[in-house]
């Protein structure tokens, strides 16, 4: 693995390798024999707010022996219009790797190309790959496996989190159902790329506006905010459009007994999830948050691992 820019660009084998190592990272935390980031300094360059991603990367890089600098995009010249290509060439000559949270997917891809250092997508408008890797780890931890399971995403089905789920489902053998109103369903061009006609292998994808049908018999009900970062101006409209796509106790009853309820956080109680359901499933939800640390330490370790010569 050279970068983690998206799950679209990550192979099934690499996803499974990350997940295996994430489990080991979790069980050996505090007594790692290897410190693969020793003598390295990684840059975290964020154009959007973050709690989980920032803390988990800062802690994870340090636990792997590295140092880290946090660069809020508005505090550096990038925020005053310096091109990402120039920022990347500067950071690439001084840092050993970069973790980027921004808007356009093209920005992380350009950063990786121009910096020539390992680059991790810490959320773009297009994908949130680190989140879904931690979520897959959580599903396997709580249910034994994600293979053969039905994972139902409810809410804004066109944002980064469900899109990374969609790419995961295209490579791994589980069924992903996305329940969203027509305007908030994944772009058909992305669906066609991920699930081309005649595709062999990987899982199954169902997209529907019928949230009850999508929840029925599911192993996991998953939701995310209705108003993603950068969409604040659309708040009122989105809240009205997505109002019925809420995980409440009645919806949970339609899922399998013992089904997981998951949320990438931050959560808005009374919007995408009720307070009652959130608290009843808080252990799973905060395990997801914790697993960001372990999954990302696995990603970081694999990105700096020596590669066999071609
Ligand atoms: N889930 C997630 O990425 O959280 P933050 O926005 O707090 O990093
Ligand atoms: N879809 C959300 C995820 C937050 C972790 C956003 O982009 O704001």
Ligand 1 close to Cβ of residue 50 (< 6 A): yes
46-69 average pLDDT score: 98
pLDDT at 52: 98
Per the annotation, the verdict on 159 as an active-site residue is no
Top pLDDT among 130 and 34 is at: 130
Give 241-299 pLDDT, tens digit per residue. 999 999 999 999 999 999 999 999 999 999 999 999 999 999 999 999 999 999 999 99
* Chain mean pLDDT for the chain: 97
Cα(116) to ligand 2 centroid in Å equals: 27
Mutate to test the pocket of ligand 2, among 53, 108, 224, 234 (most ligand atoms within 8 A of CB): 224
Any catalytic annotation for residue 96?
no
164 lines ligand 1 (CB under 6 A): no
- Parallel, antiparallel, or unpaired for β 67-72 and 41-46? parallel
* Mean pLDDT along residues 217-231: 98
**Closest alpha carbon to 42 in 76, 70, 73:** 70
Q: How confident is the model at residue 2 (pLDDT cuts 50, 70, 90)?
A: very high
For the Cβ of 52 lying below 6 angstroms from any atom of ligand 1, the answer is: yes
Cα of 103 vs centre of ligand 1, distance in Å, is: 14
Give percent of the chain with pLDDT exceeding 70. Answer: 99
Give, in order, the Cα–Cα distances in Å from 21 to each of 27, 114, 137, 260: 10, 29, 10, 23
**Signed CA dihedral, 231, 234, 239, 244: sign only:** negative
Does the CB atom of residue 229 touch ligand 1 within 6 A?
Answer: no
Average pLDDT over residues 92-98: 98
Supply the pLDDT for residue 32.
87
pTM: 0.98
Whether 185 is catalytic: no
Q: Are 51 and 289 in contact (CB under 8 A)?
A: no
Peptide bond into 230 cis (omega under 30): no
pLDDT of 309 above 90: no
Pocket test for ligand 2, best of 100, 123, 292 (most atoms within 8 A of CB): 123
The one catalytic residue in 224, 246, 263, 294 is 224
How far apart CA 202 and CA 171 sit, in angstroms, is 4
Domains, the chain, with CATH or none = 34-127 (3.40.50.1370), 131-289 (3.40.50.1370)
Which of 207, 158, 163, 210 is closest to 184 using CA atoms? Answer: 158
Q: In this predicted structure, what is the pLDDT of residue 306? A: 86
| Centroid of ligand 2 to alpha carbon of 160 (angstroms) | 7
pLDDT at 310: 63
């Amino acid at each position: 693995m050279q970068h983690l820019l998206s799950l679209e660009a990550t192979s099934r084998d690499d996803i499974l390798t990350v997940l295996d190592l994430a489990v080991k990272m979790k069980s050996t935390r505090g007594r790692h024999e290897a410190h693969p980031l020793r003598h390295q300094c990684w840059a975290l360059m964020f154009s959007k707010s973050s709690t989980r991603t920032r803390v988990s990367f800062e802690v994870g890089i340090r636990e792997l022996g590295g140092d880290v600098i946090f660069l809020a995009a508005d505090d550096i010249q990038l925020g005053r219009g310096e091109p990402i290509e120039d920022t990347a060439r500067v950071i690439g000559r001084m840092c050993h790797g970069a973790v980027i949270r921004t808007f356009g997917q093209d920005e992380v891809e350009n950063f990786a190309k121009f910096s020539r250092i390992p680059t991790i997508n810490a959320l773009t408008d297009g994908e949130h790959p680190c989140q879904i890797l931690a979520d897959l780890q959580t599903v396997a931890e709580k249910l034994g496996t994600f293979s053969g399971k039905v994972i139902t995403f409810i809410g804004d089905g066109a944002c980064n989190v469900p899109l990374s789920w969609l790419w995961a489902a295209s490579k791994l053998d589980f069924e992903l159902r996305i329940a969203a109103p027509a305007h908030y369903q994944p772009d058909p061009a992305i669906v066609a790329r991920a699930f081309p006609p005649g595709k062999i292998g990987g899982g199954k994808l169902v997209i529907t506006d019928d949230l009850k049908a999508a929840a029925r018999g599911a192993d996991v009900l998953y939701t995310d905010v209705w108003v993603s970062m950068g969409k604040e101006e659309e708040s009122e409209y989105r809240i009205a459009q997505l109002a019925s796509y809420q995980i409440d106790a009645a919806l949970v009853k339609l899922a399998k007994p013992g089904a997981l309820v998951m949320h990438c956080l931050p959560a808005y109680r009374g919007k995408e999830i009720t307070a009652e359901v959130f608290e009843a499933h808080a252990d799973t939800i905060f395990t997801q948050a914790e697993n960001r640390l372990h999954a990302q330490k696995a990603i970081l370790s694999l990105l700096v691992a020596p590669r066999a010569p071609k």
